Chains A and B, each alone.
Chain A
């Protein structure tokens, strides 16, 4: 059921999808709305008069209702999912249809990039693992966390506990009881801790942070650790073309980037994380702190001049030629910063900037005075809204999809540059 952006309605103009976002079925209350990526559907949990819950999508409740529902999410291909409970057991509902199996608990919904695969974490009889499109791992574990799904959805991984441990058994813990399970199969080696397992773009390799003892951190790739250890590391990422693994590492109190165990950005930063690659793997950008309390973005190790007390939400254009992020002053005075220059305007909140596929344009959702809007290349859309969702560019980059809620209506707007 693929539904790529190229198949969406990109006819410029404003369309009222729903005259009223309120579910017409009798209900006690309605929860927060969620909208589909293409902007055609709005769904929300409602508590019906009979005390059961369902999802109301574009004014029509699902036929099925449940004792509980939480975490409604639209998949990238536009299917509405939610975690539902019936008779004390949990499962996933997709477009109102539940997976065949129920679990003692289910959480952490994940999607493949195209939305064709849906996965979630599960717990059954005190054992933990992953479930993909309703099929659980064959092996479940005493504990599992930090679940991840490959881009194509064909592979799953999580940190798993492979050995039992008595309460407060320091020695057992420090011998290492954790590993990584890929598609349910744990690596042979155990570690004191494992963090943020991540797949390469093909879904065939996994890298993660590991703590080898209480003091030495390193990176593990497919079960093999780098020879080098560090005082601390953060999340590794695969270079999309070379397959090399790059991670922030802490050396003598400062942070840099290491690739396959070799320093590629000298450890001169007070902080360095969230590195991102261009499509060709030749450009790396990361959030860095050139000095204590001064954050910015570095592109190929060169920091921008402008610094902020806090920087979040780094985005790198696919071609690597441009980067954007958000600067703020301890969660106030948010600014959208593109290629090192803040756009005009200071906001109460801002959301991760989005590049057009060709990298020529940047859009971002912002909020000020309780009203939200979308900026395109620094200019606001001609009107603001009670709520907008994050903007989506048309495949050719010429238009911006604005999904908005205002005055009780739900709107789908295909905006052009002249509208900003």
Chain B
């Protein structure tokens, strides 16, 4: 079975390919291959032995009974290998299928890098396919709308300029009922910590801002949030392949922190945004690393715990299992800190999934896949069967997942496969268990 046998209708992809000709495709492909890729892609293309050892790494392959068209090498063969072999001379229909593979059948989770005997990064190859699709105007509707939102508002959910500080002030009001004197300090120059989140938090997960404020308040953290755009560190443009917009977003994000002269940025429990700020977006801007240090909430909560600044009134009832978000675990190596923190917080064991830490199986939502929206939900959930099987085997009721996309994906997976589990952010557990005013 190949991609042409499982095409899904999407208005973004369909309208995009309607505008294409083979000449245009060839020109764009050549432009990207010659102008934006170099030895890395050429080497990957040359050294891949088509051995298939990457197959067992991929949850789409595992979840589809070993269908080789879902294997990493299979996906490369259906996309980039064709573009290179045919020098970009492919049909619009071919591009439709390539876009569907690159945007919806690969989470850019990079588990396969660990399985490849020569270390080929299929995530990079799929990102380059996405870059080509972006330049061809062939992107799934819902993720493209998110990219539009980023470009117009500097956040991914069309949050308008007033809605952001208004939401923070609303959460501050609410939290003061429980924690008298609590502040969400806006634009506090020189604060130790600039706390950044992603747009779903002010939009519909405001309790996470409330909880973070409660934790920082209790721990005596000197922190601030910016009142102006730059507060959303997320980056669907990185995933659509709109790297120019990715750079614009990261510039705005870091300049808002530089303007406030903060020491560090702490980001909420998001995975992909971490990759954008330390790997992709910053480097497009020409910074080798982030211009202001950014630490993930895993690391920051771990610091607070180590420093004794988090006082618990109780522990969360275990056992639990831990889901390792790809970008902060495989990408950044936070798996042991995550476990130390969870052990601190729970009463009971961590029951590991069969694949864990840097070999964890992806939630199947990351890499922008969940953001491609309803048309691709079923295929996404079919791809998460391998994850569901591992989760079920733990026998626990609680999954700790410090990533927004993972949450969204795992909620769907738990429901689809009737796992009877619930998913918690670290902030959920800390807030629930921390000492609070009587």
The chain A residues found within 8 Å of chain B, CB to CB, are: 28-29, 31-32, 68, 70-71, 104-105, 107-108, 121, 123, 128, 143-145, 161, 167-168, 170-171, 173, 178, 192-193, 195, 211, 214-215, 217, 231-232, 250, 252-253, 270-271, 273, 289, 292-293, 295, 309-310, 312, 328, 330-331, 349, 351, 367
Contacts and interface: CB of A to CB of B under 8 A. Distances in A.
B181 A173 contact: no
Contacts of A215: 135, 244
A108 B161 CA distance: 9
Q: For the complex of A and B, list the 5 residue pairs with the smallest distance between their C-beta atoms, beginning with the closest.
A: A293-B288, A105-B162, A270-B286, A168-B145, A271-B286
Contacts of B161: 107-108, 121, 128, 144-145
Nearest to B224: A32
B151 A211 contact: yes
28 contacts: A32-B185, A68-B169, A70-B186, A71-B187, A121-B161, A143-B153, A161-B152, A167-B145, A170-B11, A170-B141, A178-B152, A192-B151, A193-B152, A214-B137, A214-B242, A232-B247, A232-B248, A252-B35, A289-B286, A309-B287, A309-B288, A330-B291, A330-B292, A331-B264, A331-B291, A331-B293, A349-B261, A367-B190
Contact of A170 (B12, B160, B285, B291): B12
B151 A193 contact: yes
Contacts of B291: 309-310, 328, 330-331
B77 interface: no
A30 B286 CA distance: 41
Interface magnitude class on chain B: 35 or more
Contact of A145 (B134, B169, B181, B229): B229
Given A128-B160, A170-B141, A331-B263, A312 B287 contact: no
Quick one: which of A104, A161, A312 has the most chain B CB within 10 A? A312
Contacts of A217: 244
B71 interface: no
Given A105-B166, A168-B142, A214 B134 contact: yes
Contacts of A252: 35
Given A107-B162, A170-B145, A349-B261, A330 B293 contact: yes
Contacts of A29: 181
A167 B188 CA distance: 35
Quick one: which of B134, B227, B261, B285 has the most chain A CB within 10 A? B261
A349 B15 contact: no
B135 A168 contact: no
Given A108-B161, A168-B145, A170-B12, A349 B287 contact: no
B166 A330 contact: no
A310 B293 CA distance: 12
Given A232-B244, A289-B286, 5 more contacts: A70-B186, A107-B162, A173-B152, A211-B151, A331-B293
Interface string B141-179: 110110010011100000011100110010000000000
A367 B242 CA distance: 38
B36 interface: yes
A33 to B, nearest CB: 11
Contacts of A70: 165, 169, 186, 227
B228 A108 contact: yes
Contacts of A195: 248
Given A108-B228, A170-B12, A271 B285 contact: yes
Contacts of B261: 349, 351
Contacts of B289: 309, 330
B11 A253 contact: no
Interface string B1-34: 0000000000110010000000000000000000
A367 B153 CA distance: 34
B264 to A, nearest CB: 8
Contacts of A253: 35-36
B425 interface: no
Contacts of B207: none
Contacts of B288: 292-293, 309
Contacts of B160: 123, 128, 143, 145
A247 B144 CA distance: 28
Contact of A71 (B227, B244, B290): B227
Nearest to A126: B160
A168 B148 CA distance: 9
Contacts of B166: 105
B290 A330 contact: yes
B258 interface: yes
B186 A71 contact: yes
Interface string B242-265: 101001100100000010010110
A32 B185 CA distance: 9
Contacts of B144: 170
Quick one: which of B145, B162, B288 has the most chain A CB within 10 A? B162
A237 to B, nearest CB: 16
A412 to B, nearest CB: 20
A399 to B, nearest CB: 25
B162 A170 contact: no
Contacts of B12: 170
A128 B11 CA distance: 31
Nearest to B289: A330
B227 to A, nearest CB: 7
Interface in B178-205: 181, 183, 185-190
Nearest to A68: B169
Nearest to A178: B152
Contacts of A123: 160, 162
A347 to B, nearest CB: 11
A349 B258 CA distance: 10
B84 to A, nearest CB: 20
A104 B251 CA distance: 30
Contacts of A170: 11-12, 15, 141, 144-145, 148
Contacts of B186: 70-71
B120 to A, nearest CB: 24
A56 B186 CA distance: 19
A349 B190 contact: yes
Interface string B35-74: 1100000000000000000000000000000000000000
